[in-house]
């Protein structure tokens, strides 16, 4: 079949009708050729796509398609911190990997929204123009109040990973309090009584020293982040005399600084329970710098079950299915796009990992 290559349109977008005329097929056949599946042979699809390429037609107009089908196939993903910080954390990376795989399998695109937990008016106006089919929050318990209200206003279904929590938001969460409670029981069984907790930060974007060392139950009900609050509450129930310090960030450097503060103010502490594995890694460095042997002089535990190949020790921790929770959030978003609007709540259990950083109390 001869195709006139000089017929490519100059300065305007070729149309699906023009492709159909030149390929001597129907418009519906051209439409099928641009789909991943459908009742069309490989030979016919190849022929139509070749003709489309020659006339400069790149596919059906996505806006026109959305007006007809009511779906763009775009899922927004909001992260409540700067991208550089978010993707410096293995927890976020593993979750995002599972999420992207689930969305890709369903043929949906992911639009990353760098949104803080509190969004200003200018950002809200910009986001209100984005044609999203669903909105997924990769949260650490942040409420995302403004984004949630924006999504409700535009009828966008939502999925929250560790929050935000509401009756109209599907959720994927971890049994944080139960998992930390199980770990605290194991720590208690090793005879520990003097406990210090490295608390995850509630101050996104904060750069400074760690917080003060305070009793673990101080104003615990005022902590807005339910993940942090739940993990603290689980330890406080077993060790009411424990103390805590809020790290300045969620990484190992912040963990080291917070652990130094903890050990300086409370030298009798026999175990440090960190609220994530990176903070626990920092505590290991602080112990080494202080001349303390782990676990002979000081035991250290983490939470998350991250793969940290650079860490010479086998960390005692609680493991959570990070990639699977991301996949689960993606599957829930896919169901929403396929018109399954029922809100679902999925909860994953944690499992104990017996490393070599927890021993009997000295």
Every domain of the chain and the residues it spans: 5-60, 71-174+322-348, 176-319
Spans in the chain with pLDDT lower than 70: 1-13, 35-38, 58, 60-72, 81-88, 114-129, 140-142, 204-206, 339-341
Amino acid 2: pLDDT? 36
Amino acid 211: pLDDT? 92
Please name which of 16, 127, 131 lies closest in space to residue 70, comparing C-alpha atoms: 131
Amino acid 7: pLDDT? 39
Topology match between the domains 71-174+322-348 and 176-319:
yes
Give the tokens for residue 11. 């300065």
- The gap from C-alpha 267 to its chain's centroid, in whole angstroms, comes to 36
Give me the architecture of the 176-319 domain, per CATH.
Answer: 3-Layer(aba) Sandwich (3.40)
Strand, helix or coil for residue 138:
strand
Strand, helix or coil for residue 31:
helix
- Provide the phi-psi class of 59: left if phi over 0, else alpha when psi is between -120 and 50, else beta: left
Q: What does CATH list as the number for 5-60? A: 1.10.260.40
**In contact, 249 and 201? CB cutoff 8 Å:** yes
Please name which of 253, 317, 262, 310 lies closest in space to residue 290, comparing C-alpha atoms: 262
Query: Cα-Cα-Cα-Cα dihedral of 149, 154, 156, 160, to 10°?
Result: -10
For 180-209, the pLDDT digits (tens) are 999 999 999 999 999 999 999 887 666 779
Amino acid 67: pLDDT? 40
Query: Is the pTM for the entire model greater than 0.95?
Result: no
Q: CATH class for domain 71-174+322-348?
A: alpha beta
The residues, any chain, with a CB within 8 Å of residue 250's CB and separated by 6 or more, are: 89, 200, 201, 276, 278, 279
Amino acid 244: pLDDT? 98
Amino acid 316: pLDDT? 97
Give the tokens for residue 55. 């006339």
């Amino acid at each position: 079949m001869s195709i006139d290559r000089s017929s490519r349109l100059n300065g305007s977008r070729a149309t699906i009708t023009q492709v159909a005329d030149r390929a001597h097929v129907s418009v519906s056949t051209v439409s099928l050729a641009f789909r991943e599946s459908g009742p069309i042979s490989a030979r016919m699809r190849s022929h139509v796509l070749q003709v489309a390429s020659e006339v400069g037609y790149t596919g059906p107009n996505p806006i026109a398609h959305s007006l007809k089908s009511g779906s763009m196939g775009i899922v927004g993903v909001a992260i409540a911190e700067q991208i550089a910080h978010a993707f410096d954390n293995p927890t976020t990376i593993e979750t995002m990997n599972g999420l992207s795989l689930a969305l890709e399998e369903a043929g949906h695109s992911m639009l990353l929204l760098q949104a803080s937990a509190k969004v200003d008016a200018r950002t809200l106006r910009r986001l209100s123009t984005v044609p999203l089919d669903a909105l997924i929050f990769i949260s650490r318990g942040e409420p995302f109040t403004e984004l949630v209200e924006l999504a409700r206003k535009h009828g966008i279904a939502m999925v929250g990973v560790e929050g935000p929590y509401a009756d109209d938001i599907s959720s994927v969460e971890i049994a944080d309090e139960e998992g930390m409670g199980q770990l605290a029981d194991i720590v208690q069984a090793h005879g520990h009584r003097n406990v210090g907790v490295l608390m995850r930060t509630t101050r996104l974007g904060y750069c400074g020293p760690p917080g003060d060392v305070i009793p673990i139950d101080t104003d615990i009900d005022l902590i807005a982040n339910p993940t942090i609050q739940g993990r603290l509450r689980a330890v406080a129930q077993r060790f009411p005399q424990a103390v805590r310090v809020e790290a300045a960030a969620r990484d190992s450097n912040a963990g080291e600084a917070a652990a130094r503060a903890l050990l300086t103010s409370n030298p009798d502490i026999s175990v440090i329970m960190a609220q994530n594995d990176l903070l626990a890694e920092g505590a290991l460095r602080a112990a080494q710098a202080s001349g303390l042997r782990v676990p002979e002089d000081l035991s250290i535990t983490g939470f998350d079950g991250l793969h940290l190949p650079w860490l010479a020790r086998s960390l005692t921790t609680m493991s959570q299915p990070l990639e699977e929770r991301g996949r689960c959030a993606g599957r829930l978003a896919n169901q929403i796009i396929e018109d399954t609007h029922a809100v679902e709540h999925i909860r994953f259990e944690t499992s104990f990992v017996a490393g070599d950083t927890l021993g009997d109390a000295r």
